[in-house]
């Protein structure tokens, strides 16, 4: 199977990333079919130490940080994340290197026959795109002899395909309102889905949470007999400074203190780094060889695109995948506090199922020019729909139906000291990044 055929095959399976509003229940997300697939593949998900990450914001960044630490410590490490920005290959990596097209096609071919058999019977429903990718990741990690696997949930946790793994460390990043039509309408309901990754024998590390969220996590830890390590209480951080190239800060861990620099911007990344350091310390306590200097070096080497990523300096062009009110607030605070600029030009595009009103309320508080647009993703809201939402908040937006036109208009209106910020979804951030890299916006 060639890469193009493999990509088309995966896209042809049921893909809830395109239609996420489908009921999130055991009928549509039944782990028994994933377990059946993995059993037929000789259980490739076992036999290695596992870090499992769920949450609303910061999952991917935290996963990338932990992977980078483990790689710096000399451990062969598999990383599974979603969604991808540009190609399917990005989702599955070994030692920070994404799949080659050849490996991607090989792995898709390896699962295809088993998927077809399961889908014909459909005893527990049909294998989805994400489930097939999860199996491919486990196969690749086994084939490459990975000692560790770092897994980011796709959505939720309890019914997520990655939840077949037996984790040594579970991480709950910041939990806020997102996918409410799927995961629940209250923070406690959403937290219960996310905390579904917690299993007996693991250590749980949580970001600072709202009281109702922390109560759910703590109760789940009590029931499973799992130790809870809380960032902000047991492991702390303090920002020292930074610029457009990165941030310096200190972390007070349970096993020592660290002076660090990361090439990622934003206060929220310091919180994510705190979770990563806590995870490294837990793994070390469990017998893994990870030194203080390897933690420092690993965080210094981390790369995670489309999160306050600087693409150009004059005018300043930044892309960020903030896609709910909580993450948009964090982005707005970072822009205001740490990114000097004269005039602000915001390019905004969002998926139609997101809290567009909540994000608009945040952006309405930022002085600047607003352009609304639509990415090419099937879930993207139209520019006209977005403009109507912003009008409710007293903001008049320029409408550019496609991202190329939005980028062209924003850059044409910007001076050398201005900031062009593209945000609202990872899909838009990725599209703006691609357009700028290719010079396709004139």
pLDDT in tens, the chain (442 residues): 899 999 999 999 988 776 654 555 555 678 999 999 999 999 999 999 999 999 999 999 999 999 999 999 999 999 999 999 999 999 999 999 999 999 999 999 999 999 999 999 989 999 999 999 999 999 999 999 999 999 999 988 999 999 999 999 999 999 988 765 567 789 999 999 999 999 999 999 999 999 999 999 999 999 999 999 999 999 999 999 999 999 999 999 999 999 999 999 999 999 999 999 999 999 999 999 999 999 999 999 999 999 999 999 999 999 999 999 989 999 999 999 999 999 999 999 999 988 999 999 999 998 789 999 999 888 899 999 999 999 999 999 999 999 999 999 999 999 999 999 999 999 999 999 999 999 988 6
Query: What are the φ and ψ backbone dihedral angles of 392, each rounded to 5 degrees?
Result: -60, -25
In sequence order, the β-bridge partners of residue 170 are 52, 204
Question: What pLDDT score does 63 carry?
Answer: 98
Residue 378's SS3 state is: coil
Instruction: Give pTM, 2 decimals.
Output: 0.94
Phi-psi region for residue 423, left (φ > 0), alpha (ψ -120 to 50) or beta? Answer: beta
Question: What pLDDT score does 181 carry?
Answer: 59
CA distance 159 to 30: 7
* Helix and strand element counts for the chain (H, E): 15, 17
List domains and CATH numbers for the chain.
Answer: 3-300 (3.40.1190.10), 309-438 (3.90.190.20)
* Residue 216 · residue 192 · CB < 8 Å: yes
Question: What pLDDT score does 319 carry?
Answer: 98
* Residue 393 · residue 318 · CB < 8 Å: no
The separation between the first and the last C-alpha atoms of the chain, rounded to the nearest angstrom, is 37
Question: What pLDDT score does 16 carry?
Answer: 76
């Amino acid at each position: 199977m060639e890469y193009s055929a493999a990509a088309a095959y995966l896209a042809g399976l049921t893909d809830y990333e395109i239609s996420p509003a489908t009921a999130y229940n055991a009928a549509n997300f039944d782990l028994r079919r994933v377990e059946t697939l993995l059993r037929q593949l000789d259980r490739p998900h076992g036999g290695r130490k596992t870090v499992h990450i769920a949450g609303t914001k910061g999952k991917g960044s935290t996963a990338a940080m932990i992977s980078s630490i483990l790689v710096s410590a000399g451990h062969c490490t598999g990383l599974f994340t979603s969604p991808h920005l540009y190609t399917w290959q990005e989702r599955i990596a070994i030692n920070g290197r994404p799949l080659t097209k050849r490996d991607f096609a090989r792995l898709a071919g390896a699962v295809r026959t088993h998927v077809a058999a399961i889908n014909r019977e459909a005893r527990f429903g049909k294998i989805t795109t994400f489930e097939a990718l999860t199996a491919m990741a486990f196969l690749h990690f086994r084939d490459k002899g990975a000692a560790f696997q770092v897994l980011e949930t796709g959505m939720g946790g309890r019914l997520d395909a990655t939840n077949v793994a037996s984790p040594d460390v579970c991480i709950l990043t910041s939990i806020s309102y997102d996918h409410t039509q799927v995961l629940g309408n209250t923070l406690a309901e959403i937290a219960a889905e996310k905390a579904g990754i917690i299993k007996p024998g693991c250590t749980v590390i949580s970001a600072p949470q709202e009281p109702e969220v922390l109560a759910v996590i703590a109760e789940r830890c009590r029931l499973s007999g799992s130790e809870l390590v809380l960032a902000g209480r047991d492991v702390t951080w303090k920002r020292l400074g930074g610029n457009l190239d990165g941030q310096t800060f200190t972390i007070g861990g349970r096993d020592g203190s660290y002076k660090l620099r990361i090439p990622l911007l934003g206060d929220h990344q310091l919180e994510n780094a705190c979770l990563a350091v806590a995870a490294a310390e837990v793994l070390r306590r469990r017998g893994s060889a990870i030194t203080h200097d390897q933690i420092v070096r690993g965080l210094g080497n981390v790369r995670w695109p489309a999160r306050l990523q600087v693409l150009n300096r004059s005018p300043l062009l930044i892309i960020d995948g903030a896609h709910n009110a909580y993450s948009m607030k964090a982005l707005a605070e970072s822009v205001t506090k740490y990114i000097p600029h004269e005039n602000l030009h915001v390019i905004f595009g969002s998926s139609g199922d997101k809290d567009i009103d909540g994000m608009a309320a945040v952006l309405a508080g930022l002085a600047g020019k607003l352009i609304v647009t639509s990415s090419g993703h099937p879930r993207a809201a139209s520019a006209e729909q977005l403009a109507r939402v912003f009008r409710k908040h007293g903001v008049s937006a320029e409408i550019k139906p496609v991202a190329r036109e939005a980028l062209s208009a924003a850059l044409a209106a910007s001076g050398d000291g201005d900031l062009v910020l593209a945000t609202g979804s990872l899909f838009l951030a990725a599209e703006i990044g691609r357009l700028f890299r290719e010079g396709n916006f004139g």
